[in-house]
Amino acid sequence: TPGCGKKESTNVVKVGYLRSDLHQLAYYVAREKGFFTEEGLDVKEGGVFNAGPEEMSAFSAGELDMGYVGSAPAVTFAAQDMVDIQIVAQVNAAGSSIVVRSGLEAGDVSALKGRTVAVPGHSTVQDFLLRLALKEAVLEENEINIITLKPPETIAALGSGQVDAFVAWEPYPQIAVVQNAGWVLENSSEIWPHHPCCVLVVDRDFASRNPDTVRRFVAAHVKATQYINDNPLEAADMGHLFTGQDSDAVEAAMGNIEFVYKLNVEGLERYVEFLKEIGVVKVESAESFCDTLIDQQFLPREN
Amino acid sequence: MDVGENGGPVVELRSLSKSFTEKKTGRELEVLDHLDMEVRQGRFTCVVGPTGCGKTTLLRLIGGLEVPSSGEVRFEGRPVTGPGPQRGMVFQEYALFPWRTAVRNVTFGLSLKGIPHKEARALADEYLETVGLTGHEDLYPRELSGGMKQRVAIARTLAALPRILLMDEPFASLDAQTRNGMQEFLVDLWRRTGTSIVFVTHLVDEAVFMGQEIVGLSRRPARVVRTFENNLPYPRSRTGAEFTELRARILEYLAVEMSE
Amino acid sequence: MDVGENGGPVVELRSLSKSFTEKKTGRELEVLDHLDMEVRQGRFTCVVGPTGCGKTTLLRLIGGLEVPSSGEVRFEGRPVTGPGPQRGMVFQEYALFPWRTAVRNVTFGLSLKGIPHKEARALADEYLETVGLTGHEDLYPRELSGGMKQRVAIARTLAALPRILLMDEPFASLDAQTRNGMQEFLVDLWRRTGTSIVFVTHLVDEAVFMGQEIVGLSRRPARVVRTFENNLPYPRSRTGAEFTELRARILEYLAVEMSE
Amino acid sequence: MRKWKYISPLVALGLWQLLAMVGVLGRTPSPVDVAEGFYDLIVTGLPPGYYLQWHLLASLERVLVGFAFALVLAVPLGILMGWSRGFDTVMDPLVEVVRPVPPLAWLPLAVIWFGIGIFSAAFMIFLGAFFPILLNTITGVKSVDPHLVEAARTLGARRRAILLRVLTPGAMPSIITGVRIGIGIGWMTLVAAEMTGVKSGYGLGYLILTARDIARYDIVVAGMVVIGVVGFLMDRLVKYAEKRLLGWM
Amino acid sequence: MRKWKYISPLVALGLWQLLAMVGVLGRTPSPVDVAEGFYDLIVTGLPPGYYLQWHLLASLERVLVGFAFALVLAVPLGILMGWSRGFDTVMDPLVEVVRPVPPLAWLPLAVIWFGIGIFSAAFMIFLGAFFPILLNTITGVKSVDPHLVEAARTLGARRRAILLRVLTPGAMPSIITGVRIGIGIGWMTLVAAEMTGVKSGYGLGYLILTARDIARYDIVVAGMVVIGVVGFLMDRLVKYAEKRLLGWM
Ligand SMILES: Nc1ncnc2c1ncn2[C@@H]1O[C@H](COP(=O)(O)OP(=O)(O)OP(=O)(O)O)[C@@H](O)[C@H]1O
Ligand SMILES: Nc1ncnc2c1ncn2[C@@H]1O[C@H](COP(=O)(O)OP(=O)(O)OP(=O)(O)O)[C@@H](O)[C@H]1O
Ligand SMILES: [Mg+2]
Ligand SMILES: [Mg+2]
């Protein structure tokens, strides 16, 4: 406890992550390749979650020290004061796509006019990406029908023609492709290059008491990220094991994900700005909010 | 109507046996054992016997609600194969449809015959008048007293125009006063309509007050112990010497039979 | 024991009135109207009256299960304020605890008094012997016949050592044979133990067969119409001339009262 | 006594607010927060422009459709199962194995079968409502006094009349209890049902899930309160209908 | 008749396979697919190394903990509410408003309050099981023949003895029915409960959600079958216990 004044770091880290999320492959690689152990860490799985909000709730309940999570729940929960966390590293950038159902001709996003498009959640990064794409195609939001649906259901709905297109994170777009349910209209990097996606967060109190532990954890994460980029074939195999998804789909999806650890601060600010605009978060300024939320000190220094 | 007038047999039971298989033990339970009996047209026949001897079973066999194990049940000369509106049953528990008003209980059988609603209603009103229930047509069974329920049940059965009325201890759950009233009412009704009646009871008093013929059954398995003729004139008194004498005679006779 | 021996009054009802508010209509229903009555020590008192006149209400007031609207109920000189084991109640519906065996129904009151388990069991066995139920101790109520249930209820009440037994039509749901047997049994038990008994019934026969004093109540609101002394020696016969004569006298008297 | 009727919700609210103010509840929203959430829902909507009343209406529609299917299928099937021992023996194991499967577990199949939109939501609600109605109908038919059936037979009734004029009205009290439980459980399946995806963007369950996604716990609780109160009112409504319908009881 | 007992599941299976083979079921897995899913679950596990039996055990543990809390709280509360009219009047509205709130709607709060792991899952199951037990206990106490209470009073029983020795055993049949329904509904809350996040990676609900994420519908259905069959067996078990416990009935 802070009151004791001791700064003796613990080696035990309770970590949370999302089940079947290919974006968070670095966690799995660090664990399987022993990078955490190399750093002298005892990483305990505090919880495997179905969705980001539950993981953030677990931070609220004090059950987790660190977590791999999407930037949407991380930012919204922090803005609502539901959690006291810091973002200490990027997990991936890009890695989402707009997929159109098979049999539907579409040259670009403007062809979606009057169509039904699914996003995985209101105000998610994917929601924002869709809005950006619409703006580019000079479409008003009310010219298409945006619905909310979780990716596993979305693919079934796409196959049966219930939705015409969807935006989701990998590997769902590639699964839709492999299943012949749809084809990729646009990758998210074309809409917003290097846009931030999943992040590594830490409980602020934990970070202040165990800065060294956090640093070592981030180091393992960095190592894992580099490993993925250096060994794409093996990484794809591990992605298959991690998610249980079809290996062809995983391999194709890997190409669309940028596994990076450097924080895209500017991108996060832009996303917070968007959340502020649609009234989801109420902060004075996106910039100062991100300033307090993001802590880059644990990342390795550039040389 | 002349009460003494009697026709031929309307119900004939020939060497009738009935046994049940007890569910728990799987044992065979003999209830009726080669029973022979006749019910004559237009007569008021009472059946008395100790509890559990098989009176209800006997009546249900006549009604066609049970199938004999052996022997035969004939009604108007033809074998009985199932229940039918010619043989009207009046149950001890009234068995009124609780979701139907008095009059709609009576119309139940009528509308089954395809009689149009209005006509059925008018007929039912008549039958309710017969049993003295005018003014209570639209009450639900739970709003009626025990005696009134019993009358509705009788009216409902009468409306189906049965050629014989089978009554299974219909007054058993009534209190003494109401019961006496219902006995008088039933005798009166029978004298007016002339239907044949088989009335089951375990009270000798009741049988002596109403029946022209009193059939005494033995303990289970039931046989007919003896049939008493009762030619006392109607309306009968419950306290007269002849009444008391016949009652005592039957009780004694049955008691001797029972103690064997 | 000499049946003729009588003590002073054990229960005194002084100008007792009771009315209920009907839930549906909100009307006041007068059930007892300034009723005066005394029950003498050691006597067998029967209370008869028509259905719904207030017999049960009267007994419940003595038992302390109802509060008088006005007037007073005294037991052994002291006002009654609630139920207690000195005044044992025997209900028509047996009111046995269905989840307890016969003997454990009897030990219920004993263990409440803090009597240790073994001792209570031994005492209960004795009481069950008194009512002739040895060998049936471990049966559950649903496994007992109506008469046997009634005996267990009596044994249970006796075990609480009441100084008076209040019985509300306890035999009403028994069939005629069993009922007669229970009447004989109760008279016998009373002659052996000498407890005071107040026995409510609507059957004059029953009252005449058992009671030393027969209190006739009027229709609601109940008043005491008349108290008959019945000095016929025990064991009584149901068919003797004196019996029939007294029965007829009471019936007639009540009938006149009722028809007013 | 009647005036004490509303004391417990009030005391519970007060206590809740007190605990929140003392700070022991941590991040659980207080009643005042929830009131503010309500205000936002009514004035701004969530997502903005999507107001509370439309969320409620959309949910009610789904529940009614699912419930109507449950009613129309469960009652006749229940009457047949209650009446025919053979039919009951044959169907019972199937019913008993399907019954405990959580509606939520059907979600993936519901989407495959019915797509998104009202029918897959209604299907999940159907699953919740169907079994209580079915089981109560069976029980109701079995508990009809056999004397009534016998009486009807001696009055000349045959199978059809026994089913429609004796067993159905006789089982009605139990059927209506089943309807009450069924509509309650159907309503309780709402959140799961709306996880099948809503096309319109409306629905109380959808609202709760959206609010959760953006950490608006005040709105989560406001949504729960609406579900609770509406569920309570629906129950009272059915109870009232029951009283009118079963006047003879 | 007994040999017809298993005919309906068999016929249903056959029909299902037939429809799948004809191709009308689209992506719905056929019984043979499901059997293969079972094989995978038992041999490979999902995620690999996580075998079916451990999923089942983890779920059973959660359900039992939630159910135990429900039992321990609902029975005494129900007895008090059934016995004291005042207490009932005061508590009833609160119960009636909280009751219709879907367990799934509590999910966000459950995680804040109990974190992840067994207690938040158990809390959701608790919510499912609590109300049926409570309501049945209340009904049970209210339906105890008032003559029994009066008889006990004339035998010298006071409040404590009335509550413990008359009302509690008298309400037992109804309480046990509540327990049966409660454990059933608790079990049906499983998938929702395991959406709170699981620490161990085990759980049938978790399994179904995982399988759904990766579109392994064969395993989704296999999980549903396990839930259905176990739910059925649990019900039979409680029924059996009921028979032994209520020997006097
Ligand atoms: N369906 C049945 N299955 C098994 N046993 C039966 C059945 N119906 C009647 N019994 C038995 O047959 C015997 C005669 O029964 P029944 O009802 O005919 O007697 P009862 O003379 O009408 O008696 P009570 O005076 O009590 O009405 C009883 O021992 C009863 O238990
Ligand atoms: N708690 C009550 N509330 C309202 N009315 C009551 C209540 N208890 C009894 N009564 C009414 O008081 C009257 C007398 O009832 P009571 O039970 O004392 O009659 P009884 O003489 O015992 O009748 P029975 O011979 O039918 O047992 C009846 O009209 C009854 O409806
Ligand atoms: Mg009989
Ligand atoms: Mg009475």
ipTM: 0.81
Spell out which residues have Cβ within 5 A of ligand 3, the ion: B 56
Per residue in B140-177, is it b (16+ CB within 10 Å) or e — as a string? Answer: bbeebeebbbbbbbbbbbbbbebebbbbbbbbeebbee
Q: Give the residue on A whose Cα is nearest the Cα of D215.
A: A77
Average confidence score pLDDT of chain E: 88
Window 157-176 of E: residues touching D by CB (8 A cutoff) are none
Size of interface D-E (CB pairs under 8 A): 169
Q: Containing domain of residue E212, as a range? A: 66-245
Q: Where is pLDDT greater, at A9 or A173?
A: A173
Shortest-distance Cα residue to atom 22 of ligand 1: B56
Structure tokens that stand for B40 in this block: 């004559």
Question: Under an 8 A CB cutoff, do E147 and C91 touch?
Answer: yes
Residue A46 contacts E, CB cutoff 8 Å: yes
**Alpha-carbon separation of residue D240 from A252, A295, D176, D233, E90 (angstroms):** 60, 60, 11, 10, 21
Q: Which of C62, C81, C91, C99 to mutate to test the interface with E (most CBs of E within 10 A)?
A: C99
Give the model's pLDDT for residue D97. Answer: 86
Which protein residues are within 6 Å of ligand 1, measured from CB? B 20, 22, 29, 31, 49, 51-57, 202, 220
Q: What angle do CA E61, E65, E67 make, to 5 degrees?
A: 115
**Cβ atoms within 10 A of the Cβ of D16, count?**
18
Locate all alpha helices (DSSP H) within chain C, ordered by sequence.
55-63, 102-112, 117-130, 146-159, 176-193, 204-210, 241-259
Q: What confidence tens digit (pLDDT) does each residue in B81-94 have?
A: 999 999 999 998 88
- Kindly tell me the sign of the dihedral angle through the C-alpha atoms of C175, C180, C181, C185: positive
Q: Does E2 score more than 90 pLDDT?
A: no
Does residue E51 belong to the interface with chain D, where contact is any CB pair within 8 Å?
A: no
Share of chain D above pLDDT 70, in %: 98
Distance between CA A230 and CA E110 in Å, rounded?
42
User: How many Å lie between the alpha carbon of E226 and the closest alpha carbon of chain D?
Assistant: 9
Mean pLDDT, to the nearest integer, of A12-32? 93
A242 φ/ψ angles, rounded to the nearest 5 degrees: -65, -45
Mean pLDDT for the stretch of residues A248-266: 93
Residue nearest ligand 1's atom 30 by CA: B52
Q: What percentage of chain B exceeds 70 in pLDDT?
A: 95
pLDDT tens digits for B37-65? Answer: 999 999 999 999 877 888 999 999 999 99
The dihedrals phi and psi of B28, each to the nearest 5 degrees, come to -80, 130
Question: Nearest residue CA, atom 23 of ligand 2?
Answer: C52
Given CB atoms, is D90 within the 8 Å cutoff of chain E? yes
C170 lines ligand 2 (CB under 6 A): no
**Whether A243 contacts A171, CB under 8 Å:** yes
With the CA atoms of A128, A130, A132 and A136 taken in that order, what torsion angle do they form, in degrees rounded to the nearest 10?
A: 180
Tell me the three state secondary structure of residue C212.
Answer: coil
> How close is the Cα of B182 to the center of ligand 2, in Å?
23
DSSP letter at A24 equals G
Q: Mark the ranges of chain C whose per-residue pLDDT is less than 70.
A: 1-6, 24, 255-260
Q: Residue B1: pLDDT above 70?
A: no
Q: Helix (H, G, I), strand (E, B), or coil: what is residue B165?
A: strand
- 3 state SS of A6: coil
Query: Tokens for C88?
Result: 């044992």
Residue ranges near ligand 4 (ion) with Cβ within 5 Å: C 56
D210 with A122: Cβ contact below 8 A: yes
Residue B6 banded pLDDT, cuts 50, 70, 90: low
Q: Do E154 and C84 touch (CB under 8 A)?
A: yes
In degrees and rounded to multiples of 5, residue B109 shows phi and psi of -65, -30
Helices (H), chain D: 7-22, 31-43, 52-83, 85-98, 107-114, 118-142, 146-154, 159-161, 168-188, 190-194, 204-213, 217-245
Interfacial A residues in 273-302 facing E (CB < 8 Å): none
Q: How far apart are alpha carbons B14 and D70 in whole angstroms?
A: 53
Assess contact for A158 and A176: CB atoms under 8 A: yes
pLDDT tens digits, D184-239: 899 989 888 888 877 788 999 999 988 988 888 899 999 999 999 999 999 899 88
Nearest to D149 by CA among B199, B69, B89: B89
* Ligand 1, atom 17, residue with closest C-alpha: B56
Give the range among A137-141, B175-179, C57-61, C177-181 with minimum mean pLDDT: B175-179
- Any idea of the CA torsion for A242, A243, A244, A250, to the nearest 10 degrees? -100
Q: How far is the CA of B57 from the centre of ligand 1 (A)?
A: 6
**E124 located within any domain:** yes
In this prediction, residue E3 has a pLDDT band, given cuts at 50, 70 and 90, of low
pLDDT computed for residue B257 by the predictor: 59
* Ligand 1 pocket mutation pick from B18, B23, B55, B67 by most atoms within 8 angstroms of CB: B55
Beta bridge partners of D211: none
Our CA-based measurement puts residue D155 at a distance from the nearest CA of chain E, in whole angstroms, of: 31
D32 domain residue, yes or no: no
Distance from CA of D169 to the nearest CA of B (A): 7
Give the single-character DSSP code of A302.
Answer: P
Written as six digits, the tokens of D215 are 């950490």
Any D CB within 8 A of A62 CB: no
Residue with tokens 């529940």: D63
Whether residue D58 lies inside any domain: the answer is: no
Please, which pLDDT band fits residue B213 given cuts at 50, 70 and 90? very high
Residue D20 falls inside a structural domain:
no
Residue B209 has a CB neighbour count (10 Å cut-off) of: 24
Q: Is beta strand A182-187 parallel, antiparallel or unpaired with respect to A96-101?
A: antiparallel
The pLDDT of residue A6 is above 80? no
Shortest distance, CA C75 to any CA of chain B (angstroms):
32
Per-residue DSSP letter, E46: T
Percent of chain A surpassing pLDDT 90: 66
Cβ atoms of A7 and A209 closer than 8 Å: yes
Sign of the dihedral through C-alpha E115, E117, E118, E121? positive
pLDDT in tens, D177-186: 899 889 989 9
Quote the pTM value: 0.84
Of B58, B52, B136, B142, give the one whose Cα is nearest residue B96.
B142
Question: Residues C86-129: pLDDT tens digits?
Answer: 999 999 888 999 999 999 999 999 999 999 999 999 999 999 99
Tokens for A85, please give them: 């966390």
Asked if B50 and C248 come within 8 Å (Cβ–Cβ), the reply is: no
> CB of E224 within 8 Å of any CB in chain D?
yes
Q: What are phi and psi of C139, to 5 degrees?
A: -90, 150
* E34 domain residue, yes or no: no
Residue B62 class from Cβ within 10 Å (0-12 exposed, 13-18 middle, 19+ buried)? buried
CA of C171 to the centre of ligand 1 (A): 22
Candidates C114, C141, D145; CA nearest to E170 is: C141
- Cα C145 to middle of ligand 3, angstroms: 16
Instruction: Give the pLDDT score at E249.
Output: 64
Instruction: Note whether residue D232 is domain-resident.
Output: yes
Whether residue D130 is contained in a domain is answered as: yes
Asked if residue D19 is part of any domain, the answer here is: no
Provide the domain count of chain E.
1
Burial of residue B56, with CB atoms counted within 10 A of its CB: 0-12 exposed, 13-18 middle, 19 or more buried: middle
Q: Which of residues 171-190 of E touch C (CB under 8 A)?
A: 172
Say how many CA atoms lie within 13 Å of E109 toward its Cβ.
22
**What share of chain E has pLDDT > 70, as a percent?**
98
Residues of E in contact with D205 (CB under 8 A): 102, 104-105
Q: Euclidean distance between the first and final Cα of chain A, in Å?
A: 35
The verdict on A47 touching E (C-beta cutoff 8 Å) is yes
Q: Which of C175, C245, C254 best tests the B interface by mutation, with the highest count of B CBs <10 A?
A: C175
CA distance A296 to A211: 12
Residue E99 touches partner C, C-beta closer than 8 Å: no
Name residue D84's amino acid: S
Helices (H) and strands (E) in chain E, counts: 12, 0
Residue B174 has pLDDT above 80, yes or no: no
Is chain A in touch with chain C: ≥3 Cβ pairs within 8 A? no
Average pLDDT, chain B: 88
Question: What pLDDT is attached to residue D89?
Answer: 85
pLDDT at A97 over 80: yes
- Reported as a pLDDT band with limits 50, 70 and 90, residue E214 is confident
CATH number, domain of E220, equals 1.10.3720.10
